[in-house]
């Protein structure tokens, strides 16, 4: 039983360490995507046509953003 608990603890610590690394590396991207979600959803609530235009603009800008090579590394 002790071996199982140690194994689970070790795997959990490794998972949390990897998750922290990923979040630190992509935190700005995550905030940007969440901000865009909070812009698009209320626009759909106001008007479906305006929401579609906003969604199209957001997807277009995200396409441009991901097409440009990253300067982080």
Count other C-beta atoms under 10 Å from residue 2's C-beta.
Answer: 6
**pLDDT given at position 52:** 93
**pLDDT given at position 32:** 85
Q: How far apart are CA 12 and CA 36, in angstroms?
A: 32
Indicate the pTM of the whole model.
0.60
Q: What count of Cα atoms within 13 Å lies in the side-chain half-sphere of residue 61?
A: 9
Q: Measure Cα distances from 45 to 8, 42, 54, 60, 62 in Å.
A: 44, 5, 12, 21, 22
Counts of helices then strands in the chain (DSSP H, E): 2, 0
**Residue spans per domain, the chain:** 2-67
- Tokens in use for 62? 């995200």
pLDDT tens over the chain, length 73 residues? 888 899 999 999 999 899 888 888 888 888 888 898 999 999 999 999 999 999 999 989 888 888 887 665 5
């Amino acid at each position: 039983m002790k071996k199982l608990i140690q194994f689970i603890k070790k795997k959990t610590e490794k998972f949390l360490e990897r998750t922290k690394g990923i979040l630190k590396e992509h935190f700005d991207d995550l905030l940007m995507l969440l901000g865009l979600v909070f812009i698009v959803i209320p626009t759909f609530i106001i008007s479906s046509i305006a929401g579609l235009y906003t969604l199209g603009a957001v997807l277009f800008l995200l396409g441009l953003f991901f097409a440009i090579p990253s300067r982080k590394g």
